[in-house]
Structure 1
Amino acid sequence: MFILLRKEFKVKCPRTIVALLLLLVIVTNVSGKDLVDAIHAVETGGRIGPIRGDNDLALGPLQIHRGCWEDANIGGNYSQCADLEYSKRVFYAYMKRYATKKRLGRIPTNEDMARIWNGGPNGYKKKATVAYWTKVRKEMN
């Protein structure tokens, strides 16, 4: 059956299936919290609602800045970042845009994605985001 499914997907949409499976593998850590939940814990201690941070520049459970929300380009209003599920959609869209094999030259890791979330599109290169990744990794274990 797997072979039949594989052939069927190969004909219909191989890139989409591979991308979705890759995202699932990258963002999920079976030994603990998944990446986005760990980021939520680091950013706001797991709180939900219209939490303001970074001198009132970030909003919601994942502490989303307006520029990040604009880059994610998922529609809606910036104020919706106060909602956890909407914030997660912003996170995944931002990762789809910036945490890519094409941009990084390799398959992005949880570390890459956490550091991009903290430091912007090139955050994975910045020394300033290493401590943030350490906190996220600790939450994942």
Structure 2
Amino acid sequence: MWSTLLCCLILAGAAAASISGHIDSGTCVCLTTSGVNARSGAGLSHSVVASLNSGECYKFNGGILTHDGYHWYELQNVHGHHRAWVAGNFLRTSSSSHCSGSSGSTGGSSHGTFSSGVVSQHCLNCICKHESGCRPLGCAWDVNSNSCGYFQLKDIYWQDCGRPGGSLAACAADLQCSSECVQNYMSRYISHSGCAHNCESYARIHNGGPTGCKHSYTLGYWRAIEALGCSANS
């Protein structure tokens, strides 16, 4: 039974319980292991809304409930979700400064913040997570050319977005620069695509180029983005 419950709580890793009782609303709490499921409600029967990684920090919203043998804590703005619940076994308290600029408080990534523009922070976060786990991956050969960094940018994409950051590799490895490139690319092409100005169109253009939102081969990519918690109107 314990192993079954543990699998429902996390995807990988384990951590000793670090929060088990009352903490003040607004307290900053951080994940102590990776693969932790954040849920829509307190309890294992509720749907998973995000998978969280060690070091991500969020503000506690004040709700504490006990279900299925665990103390569940309600957190604010988790991967674009206004409220989400996480078992206290995988949380620790931290200084409030750790919640400044984190993925929970900004709608961006635990590695920094996204550039603003036509694409919402939530939508950028879903694309970033799908492309790289929102990590600054090195350049690697993929479909006839290198793909680099947080958004797996290609050279032609980087040229079309205005060549920010001095080089493809440097920009792609910087969250602010790479997300600025995505914003510029979408601003350049969305009005000419004939598609709605929404997350689905932006994701499919990111995957399939300037008219990618019109082509059926980008639908599988969009389904993967939806699975990360984004909708057309995100």
Which TM-score applies when normalising by structure 1? 0.70
Match of 1:39 in 2: 127
Q: Partner of 2:228: helix, strand, or coil?
A: helix
Q: Is the contact between residue 158 and residue 181 of structure 2 (CA under 8 Å) also seen in structure 1?
A: yes
Match of 1:8 in 2: none
User: Which AA in structure 2 matches 1:122?
Assistant: T
Structure 2 unaligned spans of 5+: 1-115
> Using the alignment, how far apart are the partners of 2:214 and 2:195 within structure 1?
13
Q: Is the contact between residue 205 and residue 211 of structure 2 (CA under 8 Å) also seen in structure 1?
A: yes
Q: Would the alpha carbon gap of residues 49 and 84 (structure 1) be closer, same or farther in structure 2, given more than 3 Å must change?
A: farther
Does 1:78 pair with 2:187?
no
Identical columns (%): 29
Q: Would the alpha carbon gap of residues 57 and 136 (structure 1) be closer, same or farther in structure 2, given more than 3 Å must change?
A: same
- CA deviation digits over 1:13-37, x for unaligned, max 9? xxxxxxxx983xxx33xxxx71111
Q: Partner of 1:140: helix, strand, or coil?
A: coil
User: Which AA in structure 1 matches 2:174?
Assistant: D
Between 62-71 and 44-53, report the one with greater CA deviation.
44-53
Match of 1:137 in 2: 226
Does 1:93 pair with 2:184?
yes
How far is the alpha carbon of 1:57 from its aligned partner? Answer: 1.3
Between 53-62 and 78-87, report the one with greater CA deviation.
53-62
Match of 1:60 in 2: 149
> Using the alignment, how far apart are the partners of 1:36 and 1:51 within structure 2?
20
C-alpha RMSD of the superposition: 2.3
> Using the alignment, how far apart are the partners of 1:48 and 1:37 within structure 2?
14
User: Which AA in structure 2 matches 1:57?
Assistant: N
Q: Is the contact between residue 99 and residue 113 of structure 1 (CA under 8 Å) also seen in structure 2?
A: yes
User: Which AA in structure 1 matches 2:198?
Assistant: T
Q: Is the contact between residue 51 and residue 61 of structure 1 (CA under 8 Å) also seen in structure 2?
A: no
User: Which AA in structure 2 matches 1:123?
Assistant: G
Q: Partner of 2:158: helix, strand, or coil?
A: helix
Higher normalized strand content (fraction of residues): 2
> Using the alignment, how far apart are the partners of 1:43 and 1:22 within structure 2?
19
Match of 1:12 in 2: none
Match of 1:4 in 2: none
- CA deviation digits over 1:74-125, x for unaligned, max 9? 432112212121110100000110112xx13464111111000000001001
Match of 1:16 in 2: none
Does 1:50 pair with 2:141?
no
Q: List structure 1 runs of 4+ shifted beyond 4 angstroms.
A: none
Aligned length: 112
> Using the alignment, how far apart are the partners of 2:141 and 2:197 within structure 1?
27
Q: Would the alpha carbon gap of residues 74 and 140 (structure 1) be closer, same or farther in structure 2, given more than 3 Å must change?
A: farther
How far is the alpha carbon of 1:135 from its aligned partner? Answer: 0.8
Q: Is the contact between residue 48 and residue 83 of structure 1 (CA under 8 Å) also seen in structure 2?
A: yes
> Using the alignment, how far apart are the partners of 1:41 and 1:52 within structure 2?
17
> Using the alignment, how far apart are the partners of 1:45 and 1:114 within structure 2?
15
Q: Would the alpha carbon gap of residues 41 and 22 (structure 1) be closer, same or farther in structure 2, given more than 3 Å must change?
A: closer
| Higher relative contact order, chain-length normalized (CA < 8 Å, sep 6+) | 1
> Using the alignment, how far apart are the partners of 2:225 and 2:184 within structure 1?
19
